[in-house]
Chain A
Amino acid sequence: MSGPRDPGTTPDALHDAAVRLACAELVEILTDYLEGALPAHDAAVIEAHLALCPGCAAYLAQMRATIRVLGHVPVETLSPEATSTLLAAFRERGPG
């Protein structure tokens, strides 16, 4: 079941808001949430929705996994030519 589960019997406003929050919208504001850029109430609605919706919870876990992998990707660096130009300039400069 990927939609929200049984909304339950307590007419709790936060819960209702969490059920109403569309997954399509959640994935669009997820970065704002992770960046701490949302008002506290909106963040609470997201957290309540995540607790109800396995699809969105998995999406968030995948996003976190993606960020984790990014921490280890190989990066592009200066060409060897540019690097040797800089080292030559450094040698030429000599001790200050």
Chain B
Amino acid sequence: MPVADPDLVERLRGGDEQAFAEVVRLWSPAMLRVARAHVRTHASAEEVVQDAWLAVLRGLDGFAARASLKTWIFTVLVNTARRRGRAEAGRVLELERPGVDPRRFRGDDDEYPGHWRDEAAPVEWGPEPEVLAAEFRGLLGRALAELPDRQRAVVELRDVHGFDAEEVCTLLDLTPANQRVLLHRARTRLRGLLEEAIA
């Protein structure tokens, strides 16, 4: 975050609306993603984010800045989201297909079982030209929206918003192993989509 924290807290306390609009713009997308992993609908996630920001406004004067502003805001958010998630209860866990089509690998009777078949092996994409990059961004943006919620939350927080693994575990109530499994499934699926698009 380029904004210096103590400064930012002071500006918010002082009623600097532009500063507030800026942090809402910067942090709400990641907050939405976290919320959405705890509750069932997008509408519900929006309410959670909104409630969390309102709680932050109420707590701003008492905020002692022992943690960073961002950490505190996300803590408020997670608590709000968990409460709402418990009230909704019974989220479904998603089951999964294998990440890479098993037919691309050699059979057990081959000299190299489980290795790529010659005709199905991945090939280098080469450097991404700007035109393709724009197409890829659009494609991945749409693909993210179709991932199961927890996969989407993990891969967006990690790869789009730049949170580290430990932070994501805390925000989404995941064990480190589960965080990796969800990240793996999501990245594997997204890579596969780009590969199909290029072929």
Q: A residues engaging B (CB < 8 A)?
A: 1-4, 22-25, 27-28, 30-32, 35, 37, 53-56, 58-59, 61-63, 65-79, 82-83, 85-87, 89-91, 93-96
Would you give the shortest CB distance from B119 to chain A, in whole angstroms?
8
Q: How many residues of chain B have a CB within 8 Å of chain A?
A: 64
- Complex CA gap A27/B188 in Å reads 8
C-beta contact mask, B151-173 vs A, less than 8 Å → 1, else 0?
Answer: 00001100111100100000000
Output the nearest chain B residue to A85 by Cβ-Cβ distance. Answer: B50
Cross-chain contact B191 with A22 (CB below 8 angstroms): no
Cross-chain contact A22 with B115 (CB below 8 angstroms): yes
The secondary-structure label for the interface of chain B is: helix
* Neighbouring A residues of B24 by C-beta, 8 Å: 78, 83, 86-87
* Neighbouring B residues of A86 by C-beta, 8 Å: 20, 24, 50, 53-54
Cross-chain contact B194 with A31 (CB below 8 angstroms): no
Contacts A3-B118, A54-B121, A74-B137 known; 5 new A-B pairs at CB < 8 A? A2-B115, A3-B106, A27-B188, A78-B28, A86-B20
Would you give the shortest CB distance from A3 to chain B, in whole angstroms?
4
Cross-chain contact A35 with B115 (CB below 8 angstroms): no
A-B contacts, 22 listed (Cβ < 8 Å)? A2-B120, A23-B114, A23-B115, A24-B100, A24-B115, A25-B114, A28-B99, A35-B165, A37-B176, A55-B115, A63-B187, A63-B191, A66-B187, A66-B194, A75-B160, A76-B33, A77-B32, A78-B28, A86-B24, A89-B57, A96-B14, A96-B15
Cross-chain contact A2 with B184 (CB below 8 angstroms): no
Output the nearest chain A residue to B184 by Cβ-Cβ distance. Answer: A31
The answer, among A3, A79, A93, A94, for a CB contact under 8 Å with B112, is: A3
- Complex CA gap A56/B100 in Å reads 12
Output the nearest chain A residue to B57 by Cβ-Cβ distance. Answer: A93
B124 at the interface (CB under 8 A from A): yes
